[in-house]
Structure 1
Amino acid sequence: MASAERDRIQDAETEASRGAEGATTTSHTAETAADPEHWLRKVVLFLSGQTISLFGSMLVQYAVLWYLTITYQSGVVMMLAALFGFLPQAVISIFGGVWADRHNRKLLIMGADAAIALTTLALALIMMTGFDAVWLIYLTMALRSAGAGIQMPAVSALIPQITPTRSLMRVNGINGSIQSAMALLAPAAAGGIYAWASATTGGSAASLVPIFFIDVVTAAIGIGLLAFIPVGAVRRASDVPTGYFADLVDGVRYVAHHAFVRWLLVVFAIIFILTVAPSNLTPLMLVRSFDAGEQQNVVFLAVLEVSFSIGMVLGGIVVASLFAKRSRIAMIVVSSLVFGVLSIGLGLSPNVWVFLGFMFLLGLSVPFFSTSSMTLLQETVEPERQGRVFGFVGIVMAVAMPLGMVVFGPLADAVPIELLLVAAGILTFVVIGLAVWLPAGRRAVSAAREASRAKDPATRAVAVESAMQREDAS
Structure 2
Amino acid sequence: MNEIQPIKWKKKFFTIAIGQTVSLIGSSAVQFAMIWWMAIETDSPLMMSLAGLVAFLPQLILGPFAGVWIDRRKRKTVVIAADLFVGLVAAAFAIVFFIGSPPIWSVCLVLGIRAVGGVFHTPAIQALIPMLVPSQELMKANGWSQFMQSGAFMLGPVFGAFLFGAFSMPVILLTDLLGAVVACTTVAVIKITEPKSNSSEYPNFKREFQEGIAVFRADAKLLHLLINAAISMIFFMPLSSLYPLMSSSYFKVNAFHAGIVEFLYAAGMMVSALVIGQFFQKTNRLRLARMGIFWLGAVTLLCGILPASYGFFWIFAGLCLIMGACGNVYGLPVMTYMQETIDPKSLGRAFSLLGSVMSLAMPLGLLIAGPCAEKLGVAFWFLVSGVAIVAVTAVMALYDRK
Settle same-fold status: TM greater than 0.5: yes
Displacement after TM superposition at 1:252 (Å): 3.5
- Are 1:358 and 2:319 matched, yes or no? yes
Are the counterparts in 2 of residues 270 and 432 from structure 1 also a CA contact under 8 Å?
no
Output the amino acid matched with 1:148. G
Displacement after TM superposition at 1:229 (Å): 1.0
Q: Which residue of 2 aligns with 1:135?
A: 105
- Are 1:422 and 2:383 matched, yes or no? yes
Q: Which structure 2 residues correspond to residues 352-391 of structure 1 after superposition, within 5 A?
A: 352-391=313-352
Are the counterparts in 2 of residues 91 and 149 from structure 1 also a CA contact under 8 Å?
no
Displacement after TM superposition at 1:190 (Å): 0.7
Rounded Cα–Cα distance in structure 2 between residues aligned with 1:64 and 1:239: 38
Q: Is the alpha carbon distance of 1:239 and 1:86 closer, same or farther for their aligned partners in structure 2, counting shifts above 3 Å? A: closer
Rounded Cα–Cα distance in structure 2 between residues aligned with 1:191 and 1:232: 40
- Are 1:332 and 2:289 matched, yes or no? yes
Larger radius of gyration: 1
Q: Which runs of 5+ in 1 are unaligned?
A: 1-28, 198-206, 444-474
Are the counterparts in 2 of residues 97 and 388 from structure 1 also a CA contact under 8 Å?
yes
Q: How many percent identity over aligned positions?
A: 29
- Are 1:60 and 2:17 matched, yes or no? no
Q: Which residue of 1 aligns with 2:275?
A: 318
Are the counterparts in 2 of residues 36 and 162 from structure 1 also a CA contact under 8 Å?
no
Rounded Cα–Cα distance in structure 1 between residues aligned with 2:261 and 2:175: 22
- Which of 246, 255, 280 is equivalent to 1:298? 255
Are the counterparts in 2 of residues 98 and 247 from structure 1 also a CA contact under 8 Å?
yes
Rounded Cα–Cα distance in structure 2 between residues aligned with 1:276 and 1:249: 26
- Are 1:99 and 2:99 matched, yes or no? no
Rounded Cα–Cα distance in structure 2 between residues aligned with 1:331 and 1:58: 28
Are the counterparts in 1 of residues 49 and 238 from structure 2 also a CA contact under 8 Å?
no
Rounded Cα–Cα distance in structure 1 between residues aligned with 2:240 and 2:212: 31
Count of residues in correspondence between the two structures? 397
- Which of 14, 20, 23 is equivalent to 1:50? 20
Q: Which residue of 2 aligns with 1:408?
A: 369
Deviates further, 317-326 or 219-228: 317-326
Q: Which residue of 2 aligns with 1:114?
A: 84
Structure 1, residues 264-284: CA drift from partner, whole Å, max 9, x if none?
Answer: 331331232222323542321
Rounded Cα–Cα distance in structure 2 between residues aligned with 1:240 and 1:436: 44
Output the amino acid matched with 2:184. I
Q: Is the alpha carbon distance of 1:34 and 1:352 closer, same or farther for their aligned partners in structure 2, counting shifts above 3 Å? A: closer
Q: Is the alpha carbon distance of 1:99 and 1:35 closer, same or farther for their aligned partners in structure 2, counting shifts above 3 Å? A: farther
Give the TM-score normalised by the residue count of structure 1. Answer: 0.79
Are the counterparts in 2 of residues 104 and 231 from structure 1 also a CA contact under 8 Å?
no
Displacement after TM superposition at 1:131 (Å): 4.5
Output the amino acid matched with 2:291. V
Rounded Cα–Cα distance in structure 1 between residues aligned with 2:33 and 2:177: 15
Rounded Cα–Cα distance in structure 2 between residues aligned with 1:179 and 1:239: 31
Q: Is the alpha carbon distance of 1:239 and 1:73 closer, same or farther for their aligned partners in structure 2, counting shifts above 3 Å? A: closer
Structure 1, residues 134-176: CA drift from partner, whole Å, max 9, x if none?
Answer: 1211111111111111111111100112111000000101111
Output the amino acid matched with 1:192. F
Are the counterparts in 1 of residues 60 and 360 from structure 2 also a CA contact under 8 Å?
yes
Q: Which residue of 2 aligns with 1:307?
A: 264
Secondary structure, counterpart of 2:376 in structure 1:
coil
Displacement after TM superposition at 1:59 (Å): 0.9
Secondary structure, counterpart of 1:414 in structure 2:
helix
Output the amino acid matched with 1:118. L
Q: 4+ residue runs of structure 1 moved beyond 4 angstroms?
A: 238-242
Rounded Cα–Cα distance in structure 1 between residues aligned with 2:195 and 2:179: 28
Q: Is the alpha carbon distance of 1:313 and 1:389 closer, same or farther for their aligned partners in structure 2, counting shifts above 3 Å? A: same
Are the counterparts in 2 of residues 346 and 355 from structure 1 also a CA contact under 8 Å?
yes
Are the counterparts in 1 of residues 250 and 379 from structure 2 also a CA contact under 8 Å?
no
Q: Which residue of 1 aligns with 2:226?
A: 265
Rounded Cα–Cα distance in structure 2 between residues aligned with 1:37 and 1:388: 30
Are the counterparts in 2 of residues 89 and 147 from structure 1 also a CA contact under 8 Å?
no
Q: Which residue of 1 aligns with 2:394?
A: 433
Displacement after TM superposition at 1:106 (Å): 0.3
Q: Which residue of 2 aligns with 1:158?
A: 128
Q: Which runs of 5+ in 2 are unaligned?
A: none
Q: Which residue of 2 aligns with 1:250?
A: 211
Output the amino acid matched with 1:287. S
- Are 1:283 and 2:217 matched, yes or no? no
- Are 1:274 and 2:235 matched, yes or no? yes
Output the amino acid matched with 1:157. A
Rounded Cα–Cα distance in structure 2 between residues aligned with 1:423 and 1:136: 31
